[in-house]
Structure 1
Amino acid sequence: MKKTNGIWIDLFVFADPEKTEKATPRRRKKAREEGNVSQSPDLNMAISLLSVSSVVYFTFAGLYHSFTKIFLVITTGFNGAAAMSIPQAMHYLAFAFSAALTWLLAVMFVGLLGAALPSMLQTRFLFSLKALIPDLNKINPIEGFKKMFSLRTVFEFIKSLIKMIIIAYIGYTSIVQIWPNLFSMSQSSLEASSIALGNFIYRLLMEIGLALLAIGILDIYYQRWEYERSLRMTKKEVKDEAKDTEGNPLIKNKQRQKMMLLARSRMMQNIQNAQVVVTNPTHVAVAIEYKEDMNAPKVVAKGAGEVAERIKSMARKYGIPILRNPPLARDLFKSVEIGEEIPSRLYRLVAELLVTVYKMKNNKV
């Protein structure tokens, strides 16, 4: 049972037991490009509600007094000695309508900003058109059935139930508190009653907003956990992705072998430009090229074992002298790459080698 505990836990939380690996950077990048990111809609809604409630509370009183003055002017104008004309009344009504519309648009803008800004901060200002493309999986009945029994569905149901209970409790306690004052409000002036009712609604919305804010903050941590969980991969998916990004190991090995064969072929062709081949004598062979216009001699070919034998065979083919010098051959083989000039510490030894080669050529002449 100990070995299967993890599987039982995954089944309990409705997870795929095979998806045990963390998401790779490529998987995360692809999910982000598709608009799949972690965020809490509850936090966005809470901040939007708090923003709208605050704006309404601090601006509605001024709007109310402006409307009162406008309608007072209109009613006084119609009832007074100097009767107000219809165009004048329409002018005041148009001004009142314009002020109300401006205020309403301002409140809506604050609400949208209060919802959009937290969302942008949570998604790090992500804008993806792929999220708007219709997905057939969303209307797939099988996929829909699976989502009905997912952990997210259960969590969202419990969260919605908690929100309903909290909102109902806040509404009930608020009404209980204001209930004794309702009858006294009916005896007060319209302005006093409106202010009292506005304060009540403001406190109610702020308490609901703060409760939703607390739920939203907790929801952030769940959404991040659920997001990481949804991106988890199977070991096969990780291996397949590695093959896609880095290439199939078998294919890479074959490509590496081809490159080595090409490099070795070029190296063998360069042996004909060498002046001497220095050997170990049997295990290592290094071909050295030197011309008058060169700054220093350089290694054009080197190899050990079978490659060394091929270098010596090519040297015999082109009539290049093969000289034994085990210490020099080993040093050149270990410290100098093909195409590189020999280090200054070996100048004297290589020079002596080349002098020997030149003497051998002069003697033949």
Structure 2
Amino acid sequence: MRLQLDLQYFAGEKTEKATPKKRQDVRKKGQVVKSQDVNTAFMFFLIFLVLFVTGGFLKSSFTQLLEKSFTEYIHLSVTKDSFFTVMMDIGLQITIVLAPIMVAAFIAGLVANLMQFGFLFTTEPLKAKLERIDPIKGAKRIFSLRAIVELFKSIFKISIIGAVTFTILWINKDEIFMLASKPLDGAIAFFSTMTIQMGLAASLALGIIAVFDYAYQKYDFEKQNRMSKQDLKDEHKSIEGDPLIKSKIKERQRMMAMQRMMSEVPNADVIITNPTHYAVAIKYDEEKADAPYIVAKGVDSVALKIKEIATANKVMTVENRPLARALYSKLEIGDMIGEEFFQAVAEILAYVYRIQKKQ
């Protein structure tokens, strides 16, 4: 038993890589290769690095704030003005303390995005789309293969980060059990050091995961933006133009050029013919050119049309087969007569001018 397959069923299968134009179009819509894990890992690493550098400053700042709260603020009367003053003072102190961390987070996010897809500004993702509130499409997104992959990725990341932080706690378990015998400053210093260690270790682990996640995101992006052979043909048509439309445009341009050429025939001094196949209209105007020039030319039906217009406008026609053929093949409309034809054309023009004077 033979099975016959119609290859047209596979014409819409997306098997081709995205073209540069397709990539540019989706980029304008905000669709780029991006791993959020790269942003998170880089941000965590830079934030904990800033905490490590500014740890002493943070400790002294919060200590001063607590001392001021229990030595000055506690003695103030509870009034509207005093409450406003205390809140402004505390807010200013907290802002100064957190400013390096916020700046580090902003720089980390900016650099991470620039590393992944460069500078991109688009408002396309912010536009309201009704399909986003469609419950059916929403359910499809929730239970899609991509959602399942993201779920397992999240579980894996939580497991890795949990294992890393637990390992650091386990390494320092002896010192943790001895905290009760340490002074307050020592306990705070120990917890601060261990927190930074856990943060840096977790960010490094997340960075390793981010490398693989970026590779997956790149693969998924390429897969989502594959094109079918028909898509390639349609894009080529949109770039190069539909052949049918292009042929119509060219035909229209030819017609317009023909009309312009025919409108110059009544102004010609003479039409040199084959007599049946070629016709070349020549004009001599001292103000426009130093020598006679071609205003129209044609073969067969176009030549016949030129001769009809010439007859209707009383433009003389002179038969000279070799000259007509040579002028048609070697000169274009607007070209001046060359030296090789100058004598022959001059004789014809002189003959035409003499006939016109007699008339």
Compute the TM-score of the two structures, normalised by the length of structure 2: 0.79
The alpha carbon displacement at 1:320 in A equals: 1.7
Q: Deviations over 1:269-294 (max 9, x none)?
A: 32121122233454332211112333
Q: Using the alignment, how far apart are the partners of 2:225 and 2:265 within structure 1?
A: 56
Assess, with a 3 A threshold, how the Cα gap between structure 1 residues 333 and 160 changes in structure 2: closer, same or farther. farther
Give the partner amino acid of 2:96.
T
Assess, with a 3 A threshold, how the Cα gap between structure 1 residues 67 and 271 changes in structure 2: closer, same or farther. closer
Q: CA RMSD in A?
A: 3.6
The alpha carbon displacement at 1:154 in A equals: 4.7
Confirm or deny that 1:86 pairs with 2:80.
Answer: no
The alpha carbon displacement at 1:244 in A equals: 5.3
Q: Using the alignment, how far apart are the partners of 2:144 and 2:337 within structure 1?
A: 68
Q: 1:223 aligns to what SS in structure 2? A: helix
Q: Using the alignment, how far apart are the partners of 1:140 and 1:218 within structure 2?
A: 32
Q: Using the alignment, how far apart are the partners of 2:17 and 2:297 within structure 1?
A: 46
Q: Percent identity?
A: 34
Q: 2:346 aligns to what SS in structure 1? A: helix
Structure 2, unmatched stretches of 5+, are none
* Equivalent in the alignment of 1:13: none
Would the aligned equivalents of 2:61 and 2:97 in 1 still touch at CA under 8 Å? no
Assess, with a 3 A threshold, how the Cα gap between structure 1 residues 85 and 186 changes in structure 2: closer, same or farther. closer
Would the aligned equivalents of 1:321 and 1:357 in 2 still touch at CA under 8 Å? no
Would the aligned equivalents of 1:286 and 1:302 in 2 still touch at CA under 8 Å? yes
Counterpart of 1:274 (choices 262, 268, 277) is 268
Q: Deviations over 1:341-363 (max 9, x none)?
A: 3455644443344234345556x
Assess, with a 3 A threshold, how the Cα gap between structure 1 residues 342 and 186 changes in structure 2: closer, same or farther. farther
Q: Using the alignment, how far apart are the partners of 2:263 and 2:74 within structure 1?
A: 108
Q: Structure 2 matches for 1:116-135, cutoff 5 A? A: 116-135=110-129
The alpha carbon displacement at 1:178 in A equals: 0.9
Would the aligned equivalents of 2:271 and 2:307 in 1 still touch at CA under 8 Å? yes
Counterpart of 2:294 (choices 296, 299, 304) is 299
Q: Structure 2 matches for 1:242-253, cutoff 5 A? A: 248-253=242-247
Q: Using the alignment, how far apart are the partners of 2:325 and 2:259 within structure 1?
A: 22
Structure 1, unmatched stretches of 5+, are 5-9, 11-15, 79-83
Would the aligned equivalents of 1:276 and 1:354 in 2 still touch at CA under 8 Å? yes
Q: Using the alignment, how far apart are the partners of 1:304 and 1:240 within structure 2?
A: 39
Q: Deviations over 1:173-203 (max 9, x none)?
A: 2122111221233322222222222111111
Give the partner amino acid of 1:86.
H
Would the aligned equivalents of 2:298 and 2:328 in 1 still touch at CA under 8 Å? yes
Would the aligned equivalents of 1:312 and 1:322 in 2 still touch at CA under 8 Å? no
Q: Using the alignment, how far apart are the partners of 1:246 and 1:17 within structure 2?
A: 21
When the two structures are aligned, how many residues end up with a matched partner? 343
Q: Using the alignment, how far apart are the partners of 1:50 and 1:185 within structure 2?
A: 27
